[in-house]
Structure 1
Amino acid sequence: MAKDLTDTLIAPAFVRGMLSRIGARGADVAAYLQRVGADTAVLTDPAHPGISSHQYVALFYTLAQELKDESVGLFSRPFKLGSFALVARTGMGAPDLGSALRRMCTVLNLLQDDLLFSLSVQKDEAGMDVAWAGAGEAAPAFLQETMVRVLWRLAAWLINGPLPIRHFDFMFPEPDYARDYASVFPGTRRFLQPTSGFWFDAEVLQTPVSRDAQALRAFLPDAFAQILLPPRGFGPVSQEVRNCLLRQYPDWPDLPAVAASLHVSPATLQRQLAHEDTSLQKLKDDLRRGIAIARLTTSRIGLTQLATELGFSDSATFQRAFKKWTGKTCGEYRATSSAADR
């Protein structure tokens, strides 16, 4: 079933993790939560249910923009804005997943000093290893969690399909919030390992990279939402439709065009999507919402231009849809972004 972005709550441990390093350096983390409309009690209340997905993504974008750091202060030196796009573009230029992961490791090792990334192959298993290279204290748990998640989800995006994981490894002891790992790291989880990372069938390394520049252009505006949030449960037909929409963004195709690209009739496609409890409109809105949130919090694009880019007839229609999707106006998201730049 395709989940609505606003249906999901992000566990308090992951919210605190995102704010952990800047909080340790004296930043007013409660103020950041207030700026995205999140309850500050998430910082202290052990029974707090968490914050909404769109608040969590908005929090990340606010921190990244203000700090000019896509690692939101977790590395010893900033992971400059655009670094993730560089890593993704590097992987996209490789012929297969194995080559892509090796190339991305090289770039990641140049962009920061704290972690050492490498690809390991042991018999029928391949793994992305994340080792601690920094001096002094060990890598923060949230930094390890985030880099494992980023690389796994980016690898799956590059091959345009799922990347089933045999086991996720972490250098730190099992945390008291490990119950919240189920949706974020679906698979066996091992703690107190020599390195962090994820392991999968080695034969998958031969899978061709099937993304191009157009796909990357469509992916980047919503990339952090797709990576930071738990994987959304799309069925096989829904995933094909999403891929079709992304390939043609910003020229959103209609139902007959999508059906033709998938070599089925419009009626058949409608039935298949209904069986997966979704529709072309729901899938399109899910993509448009994610792109809109990213663009509003990281750019100065005009609302009329953004409405056109997202396929709305006018700005007013887009703004009504955005308020329905997120519970907030475009102006509130724009205000968050403006405050972050001051």
Structure 2
Amino acid sequence: MLHPPQTVSIGFVHGILSGVHARGQPLEPFLVEAGIAPGLLGQSDARVTTQQYARLFRVLTERLDDDFIGLLSRPLRRGSFALIARSALGAPTLQVALRRAARTFRLLQDDVVLELVCRAELAGVVVRFTEPSATPTVFLQEVLLRTAWRLMAWIVGGQLPVVRFDFAFGPPAHAGGYGKIFPAPQQFDCELSAFWFDAARLKDVVRRDEAALHVFLADAQAHMIVPRRTDEGIGARVRSHLQHAQPAWPDLVATAAALHVTVSTLQRRLALEGTSFQALKDELRRDTAIQRLSTSTVPLAELADELGFANSSAFQRAFKCWTGSAPGSYRRSGGL
């Protein structure tokens, strides 16, 4: 299956680097090794590919020898995450797996406790910091929630729908990208960061073994931090159709016909998912352009044609609107 390219906001890149930045270490070597242009850090609307994003996390864990990339008061040596995951494998249910993983995590560091809380029909994994006066970074809370959720979802077979994400901070500048990282209703300025799910799922059977863990760990960063694009919903069908139709880039009418729905039905169903045909089309063209600029030396005129623009000037105007910078500058920053 051909998957559309994805990108993430530069705000998440700043987050990944926050531990290194707080220690006064230079950021450029890590970015260069991950294939990310250091100049993009200064562009608030810039984006990087999900491959670059996951690669940066991997580079940081390897160079720092720290599975939590400098975010905690002392390093979690490489292999710590594998130990946490392995501690949950032999559990009979999700509830026991959660408690075992949380206990192992607590043994490895002093800063944070993951607590399982039950309220009526909901179960929650709550992030509680041991030093009340400490102000943990936004990214540390983001990565703790995302990692705990995705690990437990994987443990029980891949799916653990979240009812709500709570964040103990206000909406960050990159909150517009939260929908893909945290695909459920979100509440900010909460007392504690947490994710909540149906308490009945605590009885789910653990379905993974040591062999499955070995495969999972081979690309753990992508599993944990890269947004998972759902294959469900009308938006996913539109993205898939546009991806397969390239470089034709069909319009709304042609796409509705290809999906065997009326134009009004397609528009209404996309609106229910919080998007529109033009937004999906522009998102795909933006992400394709960033990926091509990051990985090739394709001429801008040729890329404009691939993306369905009338000419290079029209493409460059659109790209600047999407990312805040011209494609030529973006490419030069990347050293291509």
- TM-score, with structure 2 as normaliser: 0.67
1:118 counterpart = 2:123? no
Q: 2:3 corresponds to which residue?
A: 3
- Structure 2 equivalent of residue 196 of structure 1: 193
Alignment of 1:1-342 (within 5 A): 3=3, 7-48=5-46, 50-134=47-131, 136-234=133-231, 327=295
Letter in 1 for 2:42: T
Deviation of the 1:41 alpha carbon: 2.3
Matched AA of 1:20: S
Closer/same/farther in 2, CA of residues 8 and 135 from structure 1, 3 Å limit: same
Aligned equivalents of 1:2, 1:174: Cα separation in 2: 33
Aligned-pair CA distance for 1:3? 2.4
Asked which structure has the greater RCO (Cα within 8 Å, sep 6+), the reply is 2
Percent identical residues: 38
Q: Helix, strand or coil: the match of 2:169?
A: coil
Backbone CA RMSD of aligned residues: 2.3
2-structure distance, mates of 1:69, 1:233:
30
What are structure 2's unaligned runs of at least 5 residues? Answer: 233-239, 245-291, 297-336
Using the alignment, how far apart are the partners of 1:149 and 1:47 within structure 2?
Answer: 23
- CA distance, structure 2, for counterparts of residue 2 and residue 14 of structure 1: 25
Counterpart-to-counterpart distance in 1, 2:134 and 2:140: 13
CA separation of 1:166 and 1:2: change in aligned 2, threshold 3 A: farther
Q: Which runs of 4+ in 1 moved over 2 A?
A: 1-4, 134-137, 232-235
Q: Secondary structure of the residue that 2:82 maps to in structure 1?
A: helix
**Structure 2 Cα separation of the partners of residues 215 and 42 of structure 1:** 37
| Structure-1-length-normalised TM-score | 0.66
SS of 1:139's equivalent in the other structure is coil
1:135 Cα shift? 5.9
Deviation at 1:68, TM superposition (A): 0.5
d(CA) in 2 for partners of 1:207 and 1:2? 32
Q: Which residue type is aligned with residue 46 of structure 1?
A: S
Partner Cα distance (2:171, 2:10) in 1:
16
Amino acid at match of 2:43: D
Distance in 2 (CA, whole Å) between partners of 1:24 and 1:57 is 21
The gaps in structure 1 that reach 5 residues or longer are 236-273, 279-323, 329-342
- The answer to whether the 8 A contact 2:180-2:228 is kept is yes
Q: Which amino acid aligns with 1:168?
A: F
CA shift for structure 1 position 234: 4.4
What letter corresponds to residue 124 of structure 1 in structure 2? Answer: E
| SS at 2:194 equivalent | strand
Q: Over residues 75-125 of structure 1, what are the superposed CA-to-partner deviations in whole Å (9 max), with x where a residue is unaligned?
A: 000011111111111111100101100111111111111111110011100
In structure 1, how many angstroms separate the alpha carbons of the residues matched to 2:200 and 2:295? 45
Larger radius of gyration: 2
Between the two proteins, the alignment pairs up a number of residues equal to 241
Q: Is the 8 A contact 2:61 2:69 kept in 1?
A: yes
Output the CA distance in 2 between the equivalents of 1:60 and 1:43.
16
Alpha-carbon offset, residue 177 of structure 1: 1.8
